Chains A and B, each alone.
Chain A
């Protein structure tokens, strides 16, 4: 069947199972938009900024595990998409971003709305393609989706010159595996390494499990839960790994790292065996690297060999998909008699209990000002820990991680690696499009929300009722906290002395605005917001100078945490 390039793109998307595209039109993608117009099976969501479109596709991907799709025009469309791509790349999120490009003959001529998209996006994508011939189009799209979702996932850009989208070519639907001879991620763990790992597990008297985003990406939460039960060890998650193991389970000791719990960081500092699973030893997690897990042997399971021994030298690497490797380890642990000789872990658990007894997340809610932590606790109570929660970046993000427990994977969306303010609203929107029956909460700050607030219009136009909680402290709070602690309180340009009236702003967008200024108003506002079938902006005027504790100061070891 002969089709135009634009029709091939839309047909390929359908054949690849795509039903939602987040995008923004422009000259070089007009053919594609025309094909979309004629294809009711694809729902296109018109965002208000290309960054929003890419974050929305990212949010969609995080909750579904499928490849999110964004479509933007050439030049400024592509450059606006960059922050979204870099955000997805740092967090290994599977995306395909289709970018328009000037016609092949004009490439390199400084043509109108030309940007060297492949050049600019090379270092912030997993891979990118420029399609010069319509005959390559269908194959490249299949390869792009394959690369985005397999191995260590990531964003892939497909740059589409306008003339290629107009040219005609035969389209044949192809099923089956994509084969790229130079791309073959290792997915099964080496069985000798796995055996050695299990032997080390069964010898350890102070084992500690440390898992990250890889467990979520691999859909390996059930295997991880089984593994943790079999071993009986304490487990901590990175910010990206939250929900990989039930947070309300007694074996869970909380998040680790800079704003992790005291018990998690102390356990890592004292364990004799650290099992790192789909986590990448980020500097927010390790603190001072030379004193990270100083008495531990380290086992590291990761699908990406570059993650292994990059920051911390490990004793036993296992390259593979965590779902498989955990399955392999579980099978050995389940084998009869395997655990008979495991040392008694009771002394280790007693020690952990003594750290837990510090109650490191304590805070006091007084009569006057709303404490931000109290808002999150109330949100959690009223949504019964069941909401999908997206955040922006800052103090509110850390409090959300500390005070909203996730028992399931893919309910937590946050920009961890790049730390992109402005991520939250579009990501929440993408999540709600994918999961219309779930409550989707955005926990954001007065600074961050203003970075993509225009997406309120998208929520309104497409009826995407997300619930937005602004922890409004009139500050770039995380910056202010560092200035308070490390710069003797010189608040250089972290005070947002003027902010919009968020209630009126919400109303201007056709959403609902609510405000709470006193502690007793928090609960009624949230209750009301949850009842309304519309996008709701809740403006919580919280204590301005609250700090996130506990905290490992930058460059310090994990056991040098500052407690409140």
Chain B
């Protein structure tokens, strides 16, 4: 099963390589990984998406917790949570299809963030399935290149990851 794991870490040099190194050394799979400061100077938040049976996910969580600069680990898939990913797609858009591209963009509530006489860049946000669906429709029109951020996620409700 696919799991979204949120990891709160000390914002210090080398943390990312500890996490990435752990996955490489133990042969755990990573579908996506994002990292950025978590709102204060001291902590960063890593969101990891991994695939594996229950035993493997249990080991992944335990091994992450064992890394010294890791403050807290939560498997968000265990509860209600919100997932988001951002994608930028550059599509060819010659005269005949410009309207079609804009219509697709509209369906997915995405925005055009750059335009040339024969292309658009579209910004789409949503969970992974929404991004996939959008991409399916855009592909026949000619996708030049794209980039996705990987999932970020938070649990629903009024509680944070660590109780204060």
Contact = CB atoms under 8 A, between A and B. Distances in A.
B84 interface: no
Contact of A183 (B55, B58, B59, B68): B68
Given A122-B18, A306-B62, A309-B58, A130 B13 contact: yes
A182 B71 CA distance: 4
B63 interface: yes
A180 B69 CA distance: 9
A26 interface: no
Given A123-B25, A309-B55, A309-B58, A118 B65 contact: no
Contacts of A122: 14, 17-18, 21
B139 interface: no
B70 interface: yes
Contact of A182 (B13, B25, B68): B68
Contacts of A182: 9-10, 68-71
Interface string B67-78: 011110000000
B10 A306 contact: no
A59 B152 CA distance: 47
B63 to A, nearest CB: 6
A356 interface: no
Contacts of B109: none
Contacts of B71: 181-182
Interface in A178-228: 180-183
Contacts of B18: 122
Interface string B23-54: 00100000000000000000000000000000
A180 B68 contact: yes
B66 interface: yes
A431 to B, nearest CB: 29
A147 B69 CA distance: 12
A408 interface: no
Contact of A119 (B17, B62, B65, B70): B17
Contact of B59 (A118, A126, A306): A306
Contact of B14 (A118, A123, A304): A118
A313 B53 CA distance: 14
A313 B54 CA distance: 12
A474 B117 CA distance: 81
Contacts of A309: 55, 58
Interface of B: 9-10, 13-14, 17-18, 21, 25, 55, 58-59, 62-63, 65-66, 68-71
27 contacts: A118-B14, A122-B14, A122-B18, A122-B21, A123-B25, A126-B68, A127-B68, A130-B13, A147-B68, A180-B68, A181-B71, A182-B9, A182-B10, A182-B68, A182-B71, A183-B68, A304-B66, A305-B65, A305-B66, A306-B59, A306-B62, A306-B63, A306-B66, A309-B55, A309-B58, A310-B59, A313-B55
Interface of A: 118-119, 122-123, 126-127, 130, 147, 180-183, 304-306, 309-310, 313
